[in-house]
Structure 1
Amino acid sequence: MPTTVWPAIRSHVVRVTALDNCGAPVIGPKSQNVSNGHISLKLSPQYEDGEETAPKNAGGKILFVDKAQDELKYFNVELVFSRVEPELFGAMTGQPLVLNSDGEPVGFRIGQSVDANVAIETWTDVPGTVCGPDGKVYGYFLVPWLKGGRLGDFSFENALANFTITARTEMNSPWGAGPYNVVLNAPVAPATEKVPGPLLTPIAADQHIHGEPTPVIYPSPTAGAVALPSP
Protein backbone atom coordinates (compact mmCIF):
# COMPACT_ATOMS: atom_id res chain seq x y z
CA MET A 1 0.00 0.00 0.00
CA PRO A 2 1.37 3.49 -0.85
CA THR A 3 2.15 5.94 1.94
CA THR A 4 -0.31 8.81 2.34
CA VAL A 5 1.46 12.18 2.20
CA TRP A 6 -0.58 15.18 3.27
CA PRO A 7 -0.11 18.88 4.13
CA ALA A 8 -1.88 20.67 6.99
CA ILE A 9 -3.05 24.27 7.15
CA ARG A 10 -5.22 26.23 9.60
CA SER A 11 -6.84 24.84 12.74
CA HIS A 12 -10.64 24.80 12.84
CA VAL A 13 -11.38 23.96 16.48
CA VAL A 14 -9.72 22.63 19.59
CA ARG A 15 -11.45 20.12 21.82
CA VAL A 16 -10.31 20.04 25.45
CA THR A 17 -11.26 16.94 27.45
CA ALA A 18 -10.92 16.79 31.23
CA LEU A 19 -8.78 13.93 32.54
CA ASP A 20 -8.45 12.49 36.02
CA ASN A 21 -5.16 12.41 37.94
CA CYS A 22 -4.18 9.21 36.13
CA GLY A 23 -4.82 10.72 32.67
CA ALA A 24 -8.09 8.94 31.88
CA PRO A 25 -11.06 10.86 30.37
CA VAL A 26 -13.55 12.03 32.97
CA ILE A 27 -17.08 10.84 32.27
CA GLY A 28 -19.44 13.58 33.44
CA PRO A 29 -21.60 16.61 32.66
CA LYS A 30 -18.77 19.15 32.26
CA SER A 31 -15.98 17.10 30.72
CA GLN A 32 -15.39 18.48 27.23
CA ASN A 33 -15.21 21.90 25.60
CA VAL A 34 -14.95 22.62 21.85
CA SER A 35 -13.73 26.10 20.90
CA ASN A 36 -12.94 28.01 17.70
CA GLY A 37 -11.64 31.01 19.66
CA HIS A 38 -7.98 30.04 19.51
CA ILE A 39 -5.39 31.95 17.50
CA SER A 40 -2.63 29.37 17.52
CA LEU A 41 -1.61 25.98 18.88
CA LYS A 42 2.15 25.46 19.15
CA LEU A 43 3.93 22.19 19.96
CA SER A 44 7.62 22.26 20.96
CA PRO A 45 9.45 18.94 21.54
CA GLN A 46 11.95 18.87 24.42
CA TYR A 47 14.84 16.40 24.24
CA GLU A 48 17.39 15.12 26.74
CA ASP A 49 20.76 14.93 25.00
CA GLY A 50 22.46 11.55 25.25
CA GLU A 51 25.71 11.54 27.22
CA GLU A 52 28.82 11.69 25.06
CA THR A 53 32.00 9.77 25.88
CA ALA A 54 35.25 10.72 24.10
CA PRO A 55 38.33 9.52 26.08
CA LYS A 56 41.79 10.67 25.02
CA ASN A 57 45.13 8.94 25.23
CA ALA A 58 48.27 10.42 26.77
CA GLY A 59 49.04 12.18 23.49
CA GLY A 60 45.75 14.03 23.51
CA LYS A 61 44.20 11.97 20.71
CA ILE A 62 40.58 10.87 20.97
CA LEU A 63 40.46 7.10 21.29
CA PHE A 64 36.79 6.77 20.34
CA VAL A 65 33.55 8.69 20.44
CA ASP A 66 30.36 7.17 21.76
CA LYS A 67 27.14 9.13 22.16
CA ALA A 68 24.03 7.73 23.80
CA GLN A 69 20.76 8.22 21.97
CA ASP A 70 18.87 11.45 22.57
CA GLU A 71 15.49 10.95 24.24
CA LEU A 72 12.23 12.84 23.93
CA LYS A 73 11.16 14.06 27.38
CA TYR A 74 7.89 15.82 26.57
CA PHE A 75 6.30 18.48 24.39
CA ASN A 76 5.65 22.02 25.55
CA VAL A 77 2.23 23.08 24.28
CA GLU A 78 1.13 26.70 23.89
CA LEU A 79 -2.46 27.70 23.15
CA VAL A 80 -3.33 31.34 22.42
CA PHE A 81 -6.96 32.46 22.68
CA SER A 82 -8.59 35.66 21.46
CA ARG A 83 -11.26 35.70 24.15
CA VAL A 84 -11.96 34.61 27.70
CA GLU A 85 -13.46 31.11 27.80
CA PRO A 86 -13.98 30.50 31.53
CA GLU A 87 -14.70 26.75 31.61
CA LEU A 88 -11.96 25.95 29.10
CA PHE A 89 -9.44 28.07 31.04
CA GLY A 90 -10.57 26.41 34.26
CA ALA A 91 -10.16 22.90 32.82
CA MET A 92 -6.64 23.63 31.54
CA THR A 93 -5.33 25.46 34.60
CA GLY A 94 -7.40 23.99 37.44
CA GLN A 95 -8.31 27.49 38.59
CA PRO A 96 -11.75 28.38 40.03
CA LEU A 97 -14.58 29.82 37.95
CA VAL A 98 -16.50 33.04 38.61
CA LEU A 99 -20.29 32.56 38.47
CA ASN A 100 -23.02 35.13 37.88
CA SER A 101 -26.26 35.38 39.83
CA ASP A 102 -27.78 32.61 37.69
CA GLY A 103 -24.93 30.25 38.50
CA GLU A 104 -23.44 30.49 35.01
CA PRO A 105 -19.65 30.59 34.50
CA VAL A 106 -18.65 34.08 33.35
CA GLY A 107 -15.05 34.50 34.49
CA PHE A 108 -12.06 32.99 36.25
CA ARG A 109 -9.66 33.63 39.08
CA ILE A 110 -5.95 32.90 39.30
CA GLY A 111 -4.46 31.72 42.55
CA GLN A 112 -1.98 29.05 43.50
CA SER A 113 -0.85 26.56 40.85
CA VAL A 114 -2.98 23.47 40.41
CA ASP A 115 -1.91 20.38 38.44
CA ALA A 116 -4.81 20.10 35.97
CA ASN A 117 -5.01 17.26 33.43
CA VAL A 118 -6.55 17.55 29.96
CA ALA A 119 -6.34 16.12 26.44
CA ILE A 120 -6.39 18.37 23.37
CA GLU A 121 -7.42 17.65 19.78
CA THR A 122 -7.47 19.86 16.69
CA TRP A 123 -8.53 19.48 13.07
CA THR A 124 -6.79 21.17 10.13
CA ASP A 125 -7.51 21.54 6.45
CA VAL A 126 -5.58 19.38 3.98
CA PRO A 127 -5.02 21.67 0.97
CA GLY A 128 -4.31 20.58 -2.58
CA THR A 129 -6.16 17.28 -2.29
CA VAL A 130 -9.40 16.14 -3.90
CA CYS A 131 -12.24 14.41 -2.12
CA GLY A 132 -11.77 10.66 -2.09
CA PRO A 133 -14.36 7.88 -1.82
CA ASP A 134 -14.95 8.78 1.84
CA GLY A 135 -15.33 12.53 1.20
CA LYS A 136 -13.28 15.55 2.27
CA VAL A 137 -10.21 14.84 4.38
CA TYR A 138 -9.05 16.77 7.47
CA GLY A 139 -5.84 16.59 9.47
CA TYR A 140 -6.49 15.21 12.95
CA PHE A 141 -4.03 15.82 15.78
CA LEU A 142 -4.26 14.56 19.36
CA VAL A 143 -2.31 15.38 22.52
CA PRO A 144 -3.61 12.65 24.85
CA TRP A 145 -2.28 14.00 28.16
CA LEU A 146 -1.36 17.56 29.13
CA LYS A 147 -0.37 18.65 32.63
CA GLY A 148 0.65 21.81 34.45
CA GLY A 149 -1.44 24.31 32.49
CA ARG A 150 -0.71 27.91 33.40
CA LEU A 151 -1.81 31.30 32.15
CA GLY A 152 0.87 33.46 30.53
CA ASP A 153 1.35 37.22 30.24
CA PHE A 154 -1.51 39.34 28.91
CA SER A 155 -2.13 43.08 28.69
CA PHE A 156 -5.02 45.49 28.23
CA GLU A 157 -4.37 48.18 25.63
CA ASN A 158 -5.77 49.60 22.40
CA ALA A 159 -5.71 46.14 20.85
CA LEU A 160 -7.31 42.76 21.34
CA ALA A 161 -6.21 41.04 24.54
CA ASN A 162 -4.79 37.57 23.88
CA PHE A 163 -4.64 34.88 26.54
CA THR A 164 -1.89 32.24 26.42
CA ILE A 165 -2.01 28.91 28.24
CA THR A 166 1.06 26.68 28.34
CA ALA A 167 1.36 23.08 29.50
CA ARG A 168 3.49 19.99 28.91
CA THR A 169 2.72 16.48 27.74
CA GLU A 170 2.93 13.42 29.96
CA MET A 171 3.87 9.82 29.16
CA ASN A 172 1.89 6.68 30.04
CA SER A 173 -1.42 8.05 28.82
CA PRO A 174 -4.39 5.70 29.35
CA TRP A 175 -6.27 7.40 26.46
CA GLY A 176 -6.23 4.15 24.51
CA ALA A 177 -8.38 4.45 21.39
CA GLY A 178 -10.19 7.42 22.93
CA PRO A 179 -13.84 8.15 23.78
CA TYR A 180 -14.64 9.87 20.46
CA ASN A 181 -15.39 8.86 16.88
CA VAL A 182 -12.52 10.47 14.95
CA VAL A 183 -11.61 8.04 12.13
CA LEU A 184 -13.45 5.60 9.88
CA ASN A 185 -13.70 2.06 11.20
CA ALA A 186 -14.41 -1.09 9.18
CA PRO A 187 -18.10 -1.83 8.55
CA VAL A 188 -19.93 -4.07 10.98
CA ALA A 189 -21.99 -6.79 9.33
CA PRO A 190 -24.55 -6.68 7.88
CA ALA A 191 -23.59 -3.05 7.03
CA THR A 192 -21.15 -2.58 4.14
CA GLU A 193 -20.07 1.03 4.67
CA LYS A 194 -17.34 2.27 6.99
CA VAL A 195 -18.54 4.06 10.11
CA PRO A 196 -16.98 6.75 12.33
CA GLY A 197 -15.24 5.23 15.34
CA PRO A 198 -12.32 5.62 17.77
CA LEU A 199 -8.64 5.35 16.84
CA LEU A 200 -7.75 2.07 15.16
CA THR A 201 -4.56 1.72 17.22
CA PRO A 202 -4.52 2.69 20.92
CA ILE A 203 -2.04 5.33 22.12
CA ALA A 204 1.08 3.62 23.49
CA ALA A 205 2.70 4.48 26.82
CA ASP A 206 5.65 6.35 25.25
CA GLN A 207 3.64 8.35 22.68
CA HIS A 208 2.97 12.06 23.23
CA ILE A 209 1.36 13.16 19.93
CA HIS A 210 -0.89 11.49 17.36
CA GLY A 211 -1.64 12.79 13.86
CA GLU A 212 -3.40 11.37 10.80
CA PRO A 213 -5.79 12.37 7.99
CA THR A 214 -9.46 11.58 8.53
CA PRO A 215 -12.73 12.15 6.65
CA VAL A 216 -14.59 12.46 9.96
CA ILE A 217 -15.39 16.15 10.29
CA TYR A 218 -14.50 18.13 13.40
CA PRO A 219 -17.14 18.80 16.10
CA SER A 220 -19.05 22.06 16.32
CA PRO A 221 -18.05 24.60 19.00
CA THR A 222 -19.89 24.19 22.30
CA ALA A 223 -21.34 26.87 24.54
CA GLY A 224 -18.94 26.16 27.37
CA ALA A 225 -18.30 22.73 28.86
CA VAL A 226 -20.62 19.86 27.94
CA ALA A 227 -21.04 16.24 28.93
CA LEU A 228 -18.80 13.35 27.96
CA PRO A 229 -21.20 10.38 28.05
CA SER A 230 -20.20 6.85 28.96
CA PRO A 231 -18.89 4.80 25.99
Structure 2
Amino acid sequence: MSAPLISNAATVRVTRVDGCGRPVCGEDSAYVTDCFASVEMAANVEDGTDITFIAANGRQCGFKRGCPTLNGFDLTFTFYQASPELIEIMTGSPVYFDYAGKPVGFDSCAIPCNSGFALEVWTDVLGDDVCEDEAAKGSWVYFLLPWLTNGQLGDVELAGEGVNLTLTGATRAGGRWGLGPYDVQAQDTAGTAGPMLTPIGKDCHRRIFITSTPPPETSDTYVPVVGDFCMAS
Protein backbone atom coordinates (compact mmCIF):
# COMPACT_ATOMS: atom_id res chain seq x y z
CA MET A 1 0.00 0.00 0.00
CA SER A 2 1.75 3.13 -1.17
CA ALA A 3 -0.76 5.95 -0.66
CA PRO A 4 -3.36 5.27 2.05
CA LEU A 5 -6.24 7.66 2.59
CA ILE A 6 -6.49 8.40 6.31
CA SER A 7 -10.09 8.52 7.47
CA ASN A 8 -11.56 9.13 10.91
CA ALA A 9 -9.74 8.35 14.14
CA ALA A 10 -11.20 5.18 15.60
CA THR A 11 -9.54 4.16 18.86
CA VAL A 12 -7.15 5.60 21.43
CA ARG A 13 -5.08 3.79 24.06
CA VAL A 14 -3.19 5.56 26.83
CA THR A 15 -0.51 3.78 28.86
CA ARG A 16 1.22 4.88 32.01
CA VAL A 17 4.99 5.46 31.67
CA ASP A 18 7.54 6.19 34.35
CA GLY A 19 10.00 9.06 34.68
CA CYS A 20 12.23 7.49 32.03
CA GLY A 21 9.44 6.92 29.50
CA ARG A 22 9.26 3.19 30.24
CA PRO A 23 5.81 1.49 30.15
CA VAL A 24 4.64 0.69 33.66
CA CYS A 25 3.46 -2.90 34.02
CA GLY A 26 0.50 -3.62 36.25
CA GLU A 27 -3.25 -4.05 36.48
CA ASP A 28 -4.00 -0.31 36.39
CA SER A 29 -1.62 0.92 33.69
CA ALA A 30 -3.71 1.46 30.55
CA TYR A 31 -7.10 2.55 29.24
CA VAL A 32 -8.76 2.21 25.81
CA THR A 33 -11.54 4.43 24.47
CA ASP A 34 -13.32 5.42 21.28
CA CYS A 35 -15.34 8.15 23.01
CA PHE A 36 -13.31 11.16 21.90
CA ALA A 37 -13.71 14.06 19.48
CA SER A 38 -10.21 14.74 18.21
CA VAL A 39 -6.47 14.30 18.66
CA GLU A 40 -4.36 17.28 17.58
CA MET A 41 -0.59 17.00 17.29
CA ALA A 42 0.94 20.42 16.59
CA ALA A 43 4.62 20.44 15.71
CA ASN A 44 6.72 22.61 18.03
CA VAL A 45 9.61 23.70 15.83
CA GLU A 46 12.30 26.24 16.73
CA ASP A 47 13.71 28.05 13.72
CA GLY A 48 17.44 27.99 13.34
CA THR A 49 19.57 31.12 12.99
CA ASP A 50 20.26 32.17 9.42
CA ILE A 51 23.83 33.31 8.69
CA THR A 52 24.42 35.98 6.06
CA PHE A 53 27.86 37.03 4.81
CA ILE A 54 27.84 40.69 3.69
CA ALA A 55 30.88 42.27 2.02
CA ALA A 56 32.09 45.80 2.79
CA ASN A 57 30.48 47.00 -0.45
CA GLY A 58 27.10 45.67 0.67
CA ARG A 59 27.08 42.66 -1.64
CA GLN A 60 25.94 39.35 -0.17
CA CYS A 61 28.81 36.87 -0.42
CA GLY A 62 27.01 33.92 1.04
CA PHE A 63 24.00 32.70 2.94
CA LYS A 64 23.39 29.69 5.16
CA ARG A 65 19.88 28.75 6.20
CA GLY A 66 19.53 27.90 9.87
CA CYS A 67 18.63 24.33 10.74
CA PRO A 68 15.24 24.04 12.49
CA THR A 69 14.92 21.98 15.67
CA LEU A 70 11.90 19.80 16.38
CA ASN A 71 11.17 20.33 20.07
CA GLY A 72 8.29 17.88 19.93
CA PHE A 73 4.54 17.83 19.40
CA ASP A 74 2.03 19.73 21.51
CA LEU A 75 -0.96 17.47 22.11
CA THR A 76 -4.56 18.60 22.39
CA PHE A 77 -6.86 15.66 23.14
CA THR A 78 -10.59 16.42 23.21
CA PHE A 79 -12.77 13.69 24.70
CA TYR A 80 -16.18 13.13 26.25
CA GLN A 81 -15.59 10.35 28.76
CA ALA A 82 -14.98 11.67 32.28
CA SER A 83 -13.36 8.40 33.30
CA PRO A 84 -11.38 8.76 36.54
CA GLU A 85 -9.03 6.02 35.36
CA LEU A 86 -8.32 7.64 31.99
CA ILE A 87 -7.79 11.07 33.52
CA GLU A 88 -5.57 9.68 36.29
CA ILE A 89 -3.21 8.03 33.80
CA MET A 90 -2.92 11.16 31.65
CA THR A 91 -2.69 13.80 34.40
CA GLY A 92 -1.69 12.01 37.61
CA SER A 93 -4.87 13.32 39.28
CA PRO A 94 -5.71 11.11 42.29
CA VAL A 95 -8.74 8.86 41.86
CA TYR A 96 -11.64 9.16 44.31
CA PHE A 97 -13.25 5.82 45.26
CA ASP A 98 -16.68 4.88 46.60
CA TYR A 99 -17.39 2.58 49.57
CA ALA A 100 -16.79 -0.51 47.41
CA GLY A 101 -13.45 0.69 46.09
CA LYS A 102 -14.84 1.63 42.68
CA PRO A 103 -13.40 4.74 40.98
CA VAL A 104 -16.15 7.38 40.90
CA GLY A 105 -14.22 10.65 40.56
CA PHE A 106 -10.89 12.39 40.74
CA ASP A 107 -9.20 15.30 42.49
CA SER A 108 -7.73 18.28 40.65
CA CYS A 109 -4.44 19.00 42.41
CA ALA A 110 -0.97 20.33 41.64
CA ILE A 111 0.32 19.21 38.25
CA PRO A 112 2.77 16.32 38.78
CA CYS A 113 5.28 17.03 36.03
CA ASN A 114 7.15 13.78 36.70
CA SER A 115 4.20 11.67 35.51
CA GLY A 116 3.74 10.66 31.90
CA PHE A 117 1.83 8.51 29.47
CA ALA A 118 2.02 7.07 25.98
CA LEU A 119 -0.70 7.67 23.41
CA GLU A 120 -1.62 5.34 20.56
CA VAL A 121 -4.21 6.23 17.93
CA TRP A 122 -5.73 4.03 15.24
CA THR A 123 -7.37 5.68 12.22
CA ASP A 124 -9.36 3.96 9.49
CA VAL A 125 -7.83 3.60 6.04
CA LEU A 126 -9.69 4.05 2.77
CA GLY A 127 -8.66 2.63 -0.59
CA ASP A 128 -9.09 -0.32 -2.90
CA ASP A 129 -6.00 -2.12 -1.60
CA VAL A 130 -6.51 -1.85 2.16
CA CYS A 131 -6.77 -5.64 2.39
CA GLU A 132 -4.17 -6.60 -0.20
CA ASP A 133 -2.64 -8.92 2.40
CA GLU A 134 -4.80 -12.06 2.31
CA ALA A 135 -4.33 -12.59 6.06
CA ALA A 136 -5.49 -9.07 6.94
CA LYS A 137 -8.84 -8.43 8.61
CA GLY A 138 -8.62 -4.71 7.88
CA SER A 139 -6.12 -1.90 7.74
CA TRP A 140 -5.41 1.05 9.99
CA VAL A 141 -2.89 3.87 10.25
CA TYR A 142 -1.24 3.59 13.65
CA PHE A 143 0.15 6.63 15.49
CA LEU A 144 2.46 6.24 18.49
CA LEU A 145 3.55 9.06 20.79
CA PRO A 146 5.55 7.00 23.29
CA TRP A 147 6.27 9.68 25.88
CA LEU A 148 3.96 12.55 26.79
CA THR A 149 4.34 14.72 29.88
CA ASN A 150 2.70 17.73 31.54
CA GLY A 151 -0.79 16.38 30.94
CA GLN A 152 -3.42 18.78 32.26
CA LEU A 153 -7.13 19.30 31.81
CA GLY A 154 -8.34 22.57 30.34
CA ASP A 155 -11.30 24.73 31.27
CA VAL A 156 -14.64 22.99 31.86
CA GLU A 157 -17.96 24.69 31.18
CA LEU A 158 -21.14 23.13 32.60
CA ALA A 159 -24.19 24.30 30.69
CA GLY A 160 -27.24 23.00 28.86
CA GLU A 161 -25.27 20.90 26.40
CA GLY A 162 -22.75 18.10 26.27
CA VAL A 163 -19.44 18.71 28.03
CA ASN A 164 -16.13 18.32 26.22
CA LEU A 165 -12.98 17.64 28.21
CA THR A 166 -9.72 18.90 26.76
CA LEU A 167 -6.29 17.67 27.77
CA THR A 168 -3.01 19.22 26.70
CA GLY A 169 0.47 17.74 26.93
CA ALA A 170 3.81 17.64 25.14
CA THR A 171 5.97 14.87 23.74
CA ARG A 172 9.49 14.06 24.81
CA ALA A 173 12.10 12.33 22.67
CA GLY A 174 13.82 9.14 23.65
CA GLY A 175 12.33 7.23 26.50
CA ARG A 176 12.33 3.48 26.87
CA TRP A 177 9.23 2.34 25.07
CA GLY A 178 11.38 -0.09 23.09
CA LEU A 179 9.25 -2.41 20.97
CA GLY A 180 6.33 -1.71 23.28
CA PRO A 181 4.23 -4.02 25.46
CA TYR A 182 1.50 -4.61 22.86
CA ASP A 183 0.83 -6.52 19.65
CA VAL A 184 0.39 -3.79 17.03
CA GLN A 185 1.90 -5.21 13.84
CA ALA A 186 1.97 -8.39 11.76
CA GLN A 187 5.10 -10.48 12.25
CA ASP A 188 4.78 -12.72 9.18
CA THR A 189 2.72 -13.45 6.06
CA ALA A 190 0.18 -15.27 8.21
CA GLY A 191 -0.64 -11.99 9.92
CA THR A 192 0.54 -13.14 13.36
CA ALA A 193 0.21 -10.13 15.64
CA GLY A 194 3.22 -8.98 17.63
CA PRO A 195 5.11 -5.89 18.82
CA MET A 196 6.83 -3.34 16.62
CA LEU A 197 9.77 -4.75 14.69
CA THR A 198 12.24 -2.02 15.66
CA PRO A 199 12.30 0.47 18.55
CA ILE A 200 11.67 4.14 17.97
CA GLY A 201 14.86 6.21 17.78
CA LYS A 202 16.20 8.21 20.72
CA ASP A 203 15.68 11.53 18.89
CA CYS A 204 12.17 10.68 17.71
CA HIS A 205 8.86 11.90 19.13
CA ARG A 206 6.33 9.99 16.99
CA ARG A 207 5.97 6.95 14.76
CA ILE A 208 3.28 6.39 12.11
CA PHE A 209 2.76 3.23 10.09
CA ILE A 210 0.10 1.10 8.40
CA THR A 211 -0.92 -2.04 10.25
CA SER A 212 -3.26 -4.94 9.63
CA THR A 213 -3.45 -5.69 13.37
CA PRO A 214 -6.77 -4.33 14.65
CA PRO A 215 -7.01 -1.87 17.55
CA PRO A 216 -7.81 -3.19 21.03
CA GLU A 217 -11.31 -3.44 22.45
CA THR A 218 -12.49 -0.41 24.37
CA SER A 219 -12.65 -0.57 28.16
CA ASP A 220 -14.65 0.99 30.98
CA THR A 221 -11.92 0.65 33.57
CA TYR A 222 -8.17 0.11 33.76
CA VAL A 223 -6.57 -2.33 31.31
CA PRO A 224 -3.60 -4.37 32.57
CA VAL A 225 -0.15 -4.17 31.00
CA VAL A 226 1.32 -7.66 31.25
CA GLY A 227 3.18 -10.22 29.15
CA ASP A 228 6.66 -10.88 27.81
CA PHE A 229 7.61 -7.20 27.81
CA CYS A 230 7.02 -6.98 31.54
CA MET A 231 8.91 -10.20 32.24
CA ALA A 232 11.91 -8.97 30.26
CA SER A 233 11.99 -5.45 31.69
Cα deviations across residues 139-172 of structure 1 (Å, max 9, x unaligned)?
A: 1111111011011112011111100001000011
What does 1:138-153 align with in structure 2 at a 5 Å threshold? 138-153=140-155
Residue 118 of structure 1 pairs with residue 117 of structure 2: yes
Whole-Å separation in 1 of the counterparts to 2:170 and 2:59: 42
Query: Is residue 14 of structure 1 aligned with residue 12 of structure 2?
Result: yes
Whole-Å separation in 2 of the counterparts to 1:87 and 1:50: 41
Query: What residue identity is the alignment partner of 1:228?
Result: V
- Taking the aligned partners of 1:4 and 1:216, their CA distance within structure 2 comes to 18
- 2:194 equivalent to 1:197: yes
**Whole-Å separation in 1 of the counterparts to 2:210 and 2:51:** 42
Q: Deviations over 1:93-142 (max 9, x none)?
A: 11111111111111111111112210011111101234221222111111
* Equivalence for 1:230: 227
d(CA) in 2 for partners of 1:46 and 1:79? 16
1:218 pairs, out of 209, 215, 225, with 215
Distance 1:140 1:70 in 2: 26
- 1:104 has 2:102 as partner: yes
Conserved? CA contact 1:43–1:77, under 8 Å: yes
Please give the alpha-carbon distance, in whole angstroms, between the structure 2 residues aligned to 1:129 and 1:70: 38
Q: Distance in 1 between matches of 2:191 and 2:10?
A: 24
| Partner amino acid, structure 2, of 1:230 | G
1:65 corresponds to 2:63: yes
- Which whole-Å CA distance do the structure 1 matches of 2:176 and 2:44 have between them? 22
Partner SS, residue 199 of structure 1: coil
The gaps in structure 2 that reach 5 residues or longer are 229-233
Q: Check the 8 A contact 2:191/2:212 in 1, yes or no.
A: no
User: What's the Cα RMSD here?
Assistant: 1.4
Q: Does 1:208 align with 2:198?
A: no
Q: 1:47 aligns with which of 28, 35, 45?
A: 45
Q: Distance in 2 between the 1:154 and 1:81 partners?
A: 12
Distance 1:120 1:165 in 2: 12
Output the CA distance in 2 between the equivalents of 1:27 and 1:163: 27
Structure 2 distance, partners of 1:95, 1:137, is 35
Question: CA contact under 8 A between 1:95 and 1:109: conserved in structure 2?
Answer: yes
Structure 1 position 13, deviation (Å): 1.2
Could you state the TM-score of these two structures normalised by the residue count of structure 1?
Answer: 0.92
Alignment partners' CA distance in 1, 2:156 and 2:173 = 30
Distance 2:160 2:48 in 1: 47
- TM-score, length-normalised on structure 2? 0.91
Q: Which residue of 2 aligns with 1:82?
A: 80
Aligned length: 224
Q: Which one-letter code corresponds to 1:127 in the other structure?
A: L
How far, CA to CA, are the matches of 2:75 and 2:207 in structure 1? Answer: 14
- Contact persistence 2:44–2:70 (CA under 8 A): yes
Structure whose residues are more often strand by fraction: 2
